[in-house]
Amino acid sequence: MDTQAKIYVAGHTGLVGSAIMRVLNRNGYTHICTRERSQLDLRNQQAVHEFFEQEKPEYVFLAAAKVGGIHANNTYPAEFIYDNLMIQSNIIHAAYVHKVKKLLFLGSSCIYPKMSPQPIKEEYLLTGLLEPTNEAYAIAKIAGLEMCKFYRRQYGCDFISAMPTNLYGINDNFDLNTSHVLPALIRKFHEAKVNQQDEVVLWGTGKPLREFLFVDDLADSLVFLMNHYSEEIHVNIGTGEDISIYDLALTIQEVVGYKGKIVYDSSKPDGTPRKLLNVGRLHQSGWKHKISLQEGITTVYNWYLKQQISQ
């Protein structure tokens, strides 16, 4: 991408989109176009078509999506499949019609089979049944990456897909009903510390293993892929290391400085036992993450504290 190129970041206020904006700005990209949700409903095909007609972006980062943690995915599957299928189909098709030079679609590591061999290679897609708690979201994301593949095959579009592992960072969602585990734990431990609670209740058994990537690292990898990757197969993006929810909780507890007890509510779902990505393809293409989990959690907790003060 030329630094003068016109770039559309779909989902620019979200966790991923806002990180892409930071990385683009830092790297001297000045011609970025965005729309607020109130101005453009990406589920509306006509509105998306008109937006592309008017703005004619050359590059598109498709980071707009309906996302959430295990509880939200499990509770609102109709919304997760509808919103995501509509948003991504409208943008991918409009990018083809309006001759976008390159588009990068973002999926998720939950696209892989629940019982996939570990670490998960890109080739393991569609080799087994999905994890039920996020099946609706995963089906939508699989459709998106397959759509990019088929538009490349039939129309010659330079559309690529990236599959990030579990993400966290600033601008994350801290709502305890809809968030992912990492921001939920920051909030739970922080509030327990402030309110001098004896214990904090976490979901599931603590046994599942998850891989976490700081979202600024992800955004850096996406700009890298936009500039250097152009293949049909999607690329896994992660650190190549995972941690149990039990150990993650101890790490966050320490960063926050909470001294009480941790209790697990096993009536809540665990989700996939493990989803560690094989990041060989990403490393071979020349990119590796920089921010450690400890460093990332500390950054997010400091940001969270500032938000609390400014509220």
Supply the minimum distance, in Å, between the C-beta of residue 286 and ligand GFB.
25
Residues between 34 and 53 with contacts to ligand GFB, criterion CB under 6 A: none
Which amino acid does the sequence have at 212?
F
Q: How far apart are CA 282 and CA 110, in angstroms?
A: 18
Judged by CB under 6 A, which stretch of 16-24, 57-65, 174-182, 283-291 contacts ligand GFB?
174-182
Supply the minimum distance, in Å, between the C-beta of residue 2 and ligand GFB.
33
> Is 137 designated active site?
yes
E strand intervals along 165-276: 166-168, 199-203, 209-210, 212-214, 235-237, 243-244, 261-265
3-state secondary structure of 175: coil
Q: How many Cβ atoms from other residues are within 10 Å of residue 268's Cβ?
A: 15
Nearer to ligand GFB, 29 or 212 (CB): 212
Nearer to ligand GFB, 210 or 281 (CB): 210
Out of 20, 62, 63, 110, the only residue in the binding site for ligand GFB (CB under 6 A) is: 110
Q: Which residues contact 282 (CB under 8 A, 6 or more apart)?
A: 221, 235, 236, 237, 238, 288
Supply the minimum distance, in Å, between the C-beta of residue 84 and ligand GFB.
10
Residue with tokens 């909470």: 258
Decide: is 222 part of the binding site for ligand GFB (CB under 6 A). Answer: no
Per the structure block, which two tokens stand in for 156?
């010659």
Supply the minimum distance, in Å, between the C-beta of residue 112 and ligand GFB.
10
Residues between 130 and 149 with contacts to ligand GFB, criterion CB under 6 A: 133-134, 137
Q: How far apart are CA 103 and CA 95, in angstroms?
A: 7
Q: Which residues contact 108 (CB under 8 A, 6 or more apart)?
A: 137, 138, 141, 163, 164
Q: How far apart are CA 168 and CA 150, in angstroms?
A: 31
Per-residue binding string, ligand GFB, 69-108, x by CB under 6 A, is xxx-x----------------------------------x
Out of 245, 279, 282, 297, the only residue in the binding site for ligand GFB (CB under 6 A) is: 245
Task: Tell me how long the chain is.
Answer: 311
Per-residue binding string, ligand GFB, 182-211, x by CB under 6 A, is --x-----------------xxx---x-x-
Catalytic residue of the set 8, 29, 137, 168: 137
Could you give the angle at the alpha carbon of 214 between the alpha carbons of 211 and 215, nearest 5°? 120
Out of 35, 180, 190, 234, the only residue in the binding site for ligand GFB (CB under 6 A) is: 180
- Which spans in 3-76 are helix H? 15-26, 45-55, 70-75
Q: Residue 9: which H helix or E strand, with range?
A: strand 7-10
Per-residue binding string, ligand GFB, 254-273, x by CB under 6 A, is --------------xxxxx-
Could you give the angle at the alpha carbon of 268 between the alpha carbons of 265 and 270, nearest 5°? 105
Q: Name the residue whose CB lies closest to ligand GFB.
A: 69
Interacting residues with ligand GFB (CB under 6 A): 69-71, 73, 108, 110, 133-134, 137, 166, 179-181, 184, 202-204, 208, 210, 245, 268-272
Residues labelled catalytic: 137
